[in-house]
Structure 1
């Protein structure tokens, strides 16, 4: 004879064990759906960045990631997170294939994807215990910032490429940038993603709280309202316009043929092309009745250090005298121990060097090889970087006729702490010198110029971004584009560039937003793990499923 044990039929295993169940219940995401969401979410994140610029997809992409980790089994959540990371980072960093080859490029994409796995597993720990409420949303948004901060600092100084803020160069959300910085922008987008995730699950009937339809509408409406609201966010009153008003700056893009990926040597045409394009820019300004205050050449624009090459030095001096303005040139300077510095030199009209800046954040595997003997066993491409670049120690701010001109070289524009340093040291305008010829026809150049636009707004400084082959641009502190040169063209960007003094709230805050939000994330994950209740059912064992279906027999 068979009978049902009292209270067993239909009871959730957590209920039978006497564990309190939260009001917010979420149906787990099936394994196959989680894996599909992972791939689609990563591709959606990719489409949010240049050259596609569909920034509005980014909250949906992170929402898909949050939904795909809502699984009963942690290893499914880990795999879905990995797929999200691979679908995003592998195509985003394809520019690395140009100089490193396929294997290192794929290794880079896979390594960056591991950070998404870290986020996914920590996010799952919060969601399965606490559900999709405002509290868990804040913790998850802070967790996204914490993982993004870790990715941007570790190892070897990290790689900030693909940070949320850099997808927002054409978004109204960027108006929040000077107030909350890049970490704050990441927090806002990740929080909006959690609203989208909760709303979508409620509308699909997978989140059980209150009236399902209404509980799914208001989160969606909140997201729309926040985005619309940012269109009218005012800029901070500080930084203020400088008493000196502006500088007329020409950024010269000499252009070169594509670089041989086997040798990675800059074509010899770079120096004469820079001289020709500089003469054209000076003539253009002269015809318009203007007067240049500064000419900027890109990174690696001289081929050899002109301080050690008399003929090149004389040619630069003649060009500066013709322009009646100093020229900021980029060059490589060898050291006695076989290394080198990536230098920016301020070359004056009398042939002297009034300032030297050495790049502070060399790029691992691009400009130096950590653990060279080990990585040589994985790829012989490491020996293409024949000498390791050394890091400078001081922020670069040049005095140009009484104006503070901050200097960043190439990838340095992707790090807020480096931008903050030059502003704190008195930069009234920021110059970025880059050599995008190393990355061929990839999207690296357009992604980098978008970073310059983001930091123009965040820092409250005009940014003059100059590349050997493009893209080059001048951005105002409000994010307006004063001039622009496309890829693989010879020309210049010329503008009367506004100067600013003072600091935005974002710059004044420094790294504290990252520190505070990271601490909040760690505390939130630990608190969720210490709780006994669950919003998502755990994986049910076979014996428990049988008991729930038919009870016990005797």
Structure 2
């Protein structure tokens, strides 16, 4: 009896446990049906296999290169950012790091090939690899968002804001950063540029990323990798929305930007004197640079007479400071007198301590130097070597820059021709904060003096001219971009090309350059636009890290 009682008791106990488990299971199902508990999202997205992610990353990086001049396939940039975001949809962080690094190498190594022209292969590759790390810096926190939240509108906004945060950081740090390859600079011939004066370069980067993420969401749905929300043919919706947004940009008006009351244009001649190719070993300016620019200037005078307000020579157009060479200085003064207009030249001036300034000087017809601007943002490793002793221990290539350039302190704005003119030198046109500075100081147009001869036949020159066009539109100011060997161009404040020369040819750009006094919303917002967008991205990452449910299961989960 005792034994039988024990058996019945055990059977009863087993039935009770089974019944309780079933009741709990039914309770969870009922609670889920009522929506009282958020369901886990392990099956929301199927992860991208690591090997596939690496291939997608490399292909995306190459697509990003094709978005920039001289290829100008700007519509590939959103797709490339979408591909980079896809590298975050892996089951492991290691796969994301490898795949995003492949994207960075595929983009930055070919994009910065111009650096190899004067620095050699190793410094060029080092630059490309360092820049590629920023792609990883984007993809890792993007993964924290996407594996937890999936790819809905909210997470897309956060990831796009992260893209802006990383691009802003890359453009300004370390040592002042390098904005080469910033999203906005691929849009010189895109309808999206119509939004430039409204939302600035940071806003354009945000829009490019959002478009790319929209296309990615559609692709995931169409390929069955998105298991909840949109699926199948409905995946065409986010793609259609992205295309519609691009088309709608054709209708965006330019913001009000009035001309000054007294004078609405300046007649400007930009002189591209050209030169022989630079010796890749000696890296010295060839003979004849000064004479070429002087001869081309007189040719322009023969056709224009004294109907000029300003003559602009490019950076390094006098080889050395004409104030230390009576012959060259007198030739410039005579030219200014014949043109009855100031002549702006570019030169470098050594200092007593062995360093140098990169100057823009303006000569008046009376022979006086009436304005002087020193380049505020020398290029690290190109015009000066930061932490020289440290980097010399790594490579003796640092000694190719034998004399460090000193940064100027004053914003470049001069009123020598009446209306204030902003002055920037070479790569400074790529820094939107420097462009804003001259506009904030009253510039009604901007002159950029450049020397692209060091970059040979590379794509650097045509990419820099595209930067000039984009920032003309964003800033609402005409830009006169003048180079020793090209490309030189003049763009109106709405981006209309007024004059242009080719690469490695002698010529000039001459136009009636529109003046403007209005401040675009992008310039008025200043640093606030990238800072607010970046803060949104970082806050979104922090919020995602607090979530326990996941859109992609962790390793070991299916």
TM-score range, shorter chain: over 0.9
Q: Secondary structure at 2:262's aligned position in 1? A: strand
TM-score (norm. length: structure 1): 0.93
Aligned pairs, number: 528
Contact in 1 for aligned 2:42/2:549 (Cα 8 Å): no
Could you say which residue in structure 2 is the equivalent of 1:33? 52
Gaps of 5+ in 2: 1-17, 23-31
Closer/same/farther in 2, CA of residues 482 and 242 from structure 1, 3 Å limit: farther
CA positional deviation for 1:65? 1.0
Q: CA RMSD in A?
A: 1.8
CA positional deviation for 1:140? 0.7
Note if 1:368 corresponds to 2:387.
no
Matches within 5 A, 1:231-270: 231-240=250-259, 242-270=261-289
Q: Secondary structure at 1:292's aligned position in 2? A: coil
**d(CA) in 1 for partners of 2:366 and 2:331?**
12
Contact in 2 for aligned 1:146/1:518 (Cα 8 Å): yes
CA positional deviation for 1:161? 0.3
Contact in 2 for aligned 1:20/1:532 (Cα 8 Å): no
**d(CA) in 2 for partners of 1:363 and 1:240?**
34
Note if 1:118 corresponds to 2:129.
no
Could you say which residue in structure 1 is the equivalent of 2:241? 222
Could you say which residue in structure 2 is the equivalent of 1:410? 426
Could you say which residue in structure 2 is the equivalent of 1:456? 472
Matches within 5 A, 1:283-322: 283-286=302-305, 291-322=307-338
Contact in 2 for aligned 1:99/1:439 (Cα 8 Å): yes
Could you say which residue in structure 2 is the equivalent of 1:94? 113
Matches within 5 A, 1:81-480: 81-210=100-229, 212-240=231-259, 242-286=261-305, 291-480=307-496
CA positional deviation for 1:240? 4.1
**d(CA) in 1 for partners of 2:340 and 2:113?**
42
**d(CA) in 2 for partners of 1:42 and 1:467?**
29
Q: Secondary structure at 1:301's aligned position in 2? A: coil
**d(CA) in 2 for partners of 1:327 and 1:169?**
30
CA positional deviation for 1:211? 5.2
Could you say which residue in structure 2 is the equivalent of 1:551? none
CA positional deviation for 1:417? 0.5
Contact in 2 for aligned 1:343/1:357 (Cα 8 Å): yes
CA positional deviation for 1:197? 0.7
CA positional deviation for 1:269? 0.9
CA positional deviation for 1:239? 4.7
**d(CA) in 1 for partners of 2:119 and 2:388?**
14
- Which structure is higher in RCO with an 8 Å CA cutoff and minimum separation 6? 1
**d(CA) in 2 for partners of 1:19 and 1:428?**
57
Contact in 1 for aligned 2:293/2:313 (Cα 8 Å): yes
Q: Secondary structure at 1:328's aligned position in 2? A: strand
Matches within 5 A, 1:57-76: 57-76=76-95
**d(CA) in 1 for partners of 2:339 and 2:456?**
31
Provide Cα deviations, 1:186-222, integer angstroms capped at 9, x if missing partner.
Answer: 0011011111110110011110224513531110111
Contact in 1 for aligned 2:42/2:552 (Cα 8 Å): no
Gaps of 5+ in 1: 8-14, 546-554
Closer/same/farther in 2, CA of residues 227 and 211 from structure 1, 3 Å limit: closer
Contact in 1 for aligned 2:371/2:416 (Cα 8 Å): no
